[in-house]
Amino acid sequence: MQTLANWNDLRQEATRRLTAASPDPVVADRAVGFLDAWLTEPIYQTQRDSILAHITQGKSDLLLDSFYQLVPFGTGGRRGRIGFGPNRINQITVAMSVQGHCDYLRETVPDAASRTIVVAFDTRIFADISGTYEFLGRDNPLLGLTSRALARSACEIYARNGFEVYVPGLSSETEYLSTPELSFAIRDLKALGGINVSASHNHPDDNGFKFFNEQGAQDIPPTDQKMTSFMGEVTEIKRVEFADAVADGKIRPMPGELHSAYLGASLALRSRNPRSATIVYTPLCGTGNRTVGDVLREAGYDVRLYEPQANFDGTFAAVPLRLPNPEVPEAASPALGLAREVNADLVLCSDPDADRIGVFARDAAGRWRYLNGNEIACILAYYLVMDGERGPKRSGVLIKTLVTTRMLQNIARQSGCAIVPDLLVGFKYIANVLLSLEREGRFEGVVASADDLVLAGEESHGVLLTPLIRDKDAAGGALVLCELVSQLRMEGRRLPEYLDALAMACGNYQNLSRSMVMRGIRGAKLLERMMLSLREQPPQEFGGMPVLRWRDLLSPEHGPILSETDRLSRNFLVFELEQAQIVVRPSGTEPKAKIYVDVEGAKIPGVLDRPGAAAFARRLAEKVLDDCIGRIDIRLSANAHLLPDYLDLDLKADFDKTFRGDLVAALGKLGGQTETEQIEWLRERLKPYGGGSDPLGPTAATLDALFNELSHEVASAEERETLRTLKQAVAGARTPVDWVV
């Protein structure tokens, strides 16, 4: 057992190591300052031994990244890797944030002590799948840490600070609460606010939390900055034992009637009630069966649950790549087998906190087509406001973020609906529009009430169809999609063809997003450098197409910067081309930057159909990506470009710089091995690419291209034969891709 004296002995050596590991002496000094606090102050004592082990085991890079900052408060709260220190999600960082939330509420709300807080959580459990903390062995106190446990800790703090707390799971280990139902509950109970412990769609090595206000939404700048300032000043955690607070009535179960009210609010979205569609649904091991599943069953649909992903396994073992993200087609793809078995019309999924929706739809040729978030939003909007034959032909307000397809603006214009078109990223900005409509009857140039909401959407698979909820909700979108698909089925039509027809009538827009993942301090510095370069030397053209206009949302013409959280939210660059809009922005909650390409196919010469516009968007997005990463001296081969965007750029560079050479050097040895041994060599060498799952999934397409390329370069027939057998082995080991985009 390490003792406090060890830090005094180790401090000088630790400082030297951190300085050597840091690209900036100021960063190293800040990390040492955090270490001084975490290893000497009583509030942090539970992590001392594990932190000291980082030092004695020589984990300087990990230590530096864990201690150089407090987990940033981003687009939807705090989210990041589970671990030790201020730049990780753990019992201490969650507790300090909750205590700060309590202090903030008491300071800003006169009757705060008599009000209610609602606490929600998802299914995730930390198992260190990536092996980051293997050096701690069985002494890692974070192993097995669940969202439920962190939520219960939050309940103890809220209760001790005088709040009455509602929380699910008091009588059942399989009771959870989704993000949309949390938002609904806060409003229905007239609670002061809430918290959801969830990392949404992230890998299970991550966790996080989002705070909600009394509107059931997250605060926007500068209010969120004021709240976070209280969190940074906490020196004492006030808490009461969970069982004692339950016994005293300070912590209570969720009222039973709330779920029925939530279902009623969702079912009220129906305009017709055809139920001919057969639906396969997967909650991706999350909370959604109580929202999406219950709503669809209550509406009378034939819902077939994909059981392997409906088991509340917070390690997401049954989810390919362990990424329970509707934006990743592979996540729900195992459910396609059941869909073929039962002749389903749709495969629907939701992420672990059930606010995002994913869709596979069967087309007229019997193929499964994956629909992206922009396509889902456009289908819903068109059906609700323009399709007089099947839909309700509603008039009202559409709301979207800046990075969401501009086809929604065409739909609004053609239908006569009002639209709020260019919000910052994050559903909290959509909720703020609804609050303004509710209180003032207007938002900027739109005059309406919150009840006039038809659809709010964002490209990341989030939609909202009712003002009774102030966050995205997979269930409402799922219900209306099923209503439409049922009508199409009775006509002998399919959803993908419906999408293609409406898109051609509304501008033939195609959208593509690309991500650049860059972890750690080095990654953060590279992102800053890339954005600075784009600002100082903005591109004049992309793929031969001139940039007509570009905007920097941090510039004074877009108003004063209200807070650091506002600065993070406004860190956008928008480039306008004749045929496209391009946006580049760092994520507010994840270590990556995103590129959004929105192509108007109707304006592209020679492009007459959807595939042509899609191909144009893909080429343009790759040009933009190459420009961005070229500014930080990263160049990728065509093969490395085939690797999925959720992989770190360093891994993509490794594929070009190191793996290629390692493979060529190993061909002689591999030629004398069995297929099983060859596959094991590949899996071991590519292990970092898998994130704890089989690395052949994310690398298969890239390997196939590399094998083909090398077969024309190697000298001997034996090496070519080895490449041929490797190609066959990888093809046999990978899961077939049985959908189209």
**What's the pLDDT tens digit per position in 326-385?**
999 999 999 999 999 999 999 999 999 999 999 999 999 999 999 999 999 999 999 999
Q: Is the peptide bond before 222 cis (omega within 30 degrees of 0)?
A: yes
Give the CA diameter of the chain: 81
Residue 190: pLDDT over 70: yes
| DSSP annotation of 356 | B
> Cα separation of 559 and 133, whole Å?
45
Mean of pLDDT over the chain: 94
Residue 78: pLDDT over 50: yes
78 token code pair: 């705090």
Contact in structure between 369 and 363 (CB atoms under 8 Å): yes
Mean pLDDT of 19-46: 93
DSSP string spanning 45-113?
GGGHHHHHHHHHTT-HHHHHHHHSSPPP-BTTBEEEEB-SSTTSBSHHHHHHHHHHHHHHHHHH-TTGG
573-610 per-position pLDDT tens digit: 999 999 999 999 998 767 899 999 999 999 999 999 99
287-304 per-position pLDDT tens digit: 999 999 999 999 999 999
CA distances from 183 to 20, 31, 202, 429, 554 (A): 46, 37, 21, 15, 30
> Cα separation of 200 and 180, whole Å?
12
In this prediction, residue 524 carries a pLDDT of: 87
Other beta carbons within 10 Å of 630: 13
> Cα separation of 162 and 113, whole Å?
5
88-109 per-position pLDDT tens digit: 999 999 999 999 999 999 999 9
Q: Where are the alpha helices (DSSP H) in 364-513?
A: 373-385, 407-415, 427-440, 474-490, 495-505
Whole-prediction pTM value? Answer: 0.95
Mean pLDDT of 693-707: 91
- Give 571's contacts (C-beta < 8 A, 6+ positions apart): 531, 553, 554, 585, 586
Task: Write down how long the chain is.
Answer: 741
> Cα separation of 621 and 326, whole Å?
21
120-150 per-position pLDDT tens digit: 999 999 999 999 999 999 889 999 999 999 9
Q: Where are the alpha helices (DSSP H) in 134-178?
A: 147-160
517-529 per-position pLDDT tens digit: 998 888 888 999 9
- What backbone torsions phi and psi does residue 89 show, to the nearest 5 degrees? -85, 125
Contact in structure between 277 and 301 (CB atoms under 8 Å): yes
Beta-bridge partners for 368? 362
> Cα separation of 669 and 394, whole Å?
67
Mean pLDDT of 675-693: 90
In 3D, which of 386, 609, 359, 629 has the Cα closest to residue 496? 359
Residue 1: pLDDT over 50: no
> Cα separation of 699 and 691, whole Å?
12
> Cα separation of 298 and 402, whole Å?
35
Provide the pLDDT confidence category of residue 5 given band limits of 50, 70 and 90: low
Strands 418-423 and 397-401, how do they pair?
Answer: parallel
Provide the pLDDT confidence category of residue 114 given band limits of 50, 70 and 90: confident
Residue 57: pLDDT over 60: yes
Beta-bridge partners for 648? 517
> Cα separation of 258 and 724, whole Å?
60
Residue 449: pLDDT over 50: yes
In this prediction, residue 2 carries a pLDDT of: 43
Residue percentage of the chain with pLDDT more than 70: 99
In this prediction, residue 3 carries a pLDDT of: 46
Contact in structure between 334 and 310 (CB atoms under 8 Å): no
> Cα separation of 96 and 234, whole Å?
6
